[in-house]
Amino acid sequence: MNSGFEVEEEFFEKKILKGEALRIGDRVIYPVIQVSTLEFDDKFWFESITPIAIAVSEVDKKYLISLCDEESEEYQSIKLEEIFD
């Protein structure tokens, strides 16, 4: 379905961010979100925050728990080494 509204990439920005760490015993948990922003002519039009995953660090392993389609570009772009640096 075409809404009749097209957005050029130069006005649309997506960032993958990690939230504050939650420590539970030896486990550290981070929420991972995508923030999408649309701005045009220095005017803010739209912002969306979408949960993507939960990153978990345990004593012997680090992993992601997906909150979206694991085949999505956003999920695939998450780098564990950047989250746990």
The domains of the chain are located at 9-83
Long-range contacts of 27-36, Cβ-Cβ distance < 8 Å, separation of 24 or more: 27/56, 27/57, 27/58, 28/56, 28/57, 29/54, 29/55, 29/56, 29/57, 30/54, 30/55, 30/56, 30/57, 30/83, 31/55, 32/64, 32/78, 32/83, 34/74, 36/12
Structure tokens at 71: 């085949």
Q: How many CB atoms lie within 10 A of CB 83?
A: 19
Confidence bin at 9 (pLDDT 50/70/90): low
**pLDDT (0 to 100) of residue 8:** 56
Helix/strand/coil for 17: strand
Q: Which tens digit of pLDDT belongs to each residue from 11-54? A: 778 888 999 999 999 999 999 999 988 887 777 678 889 999 99
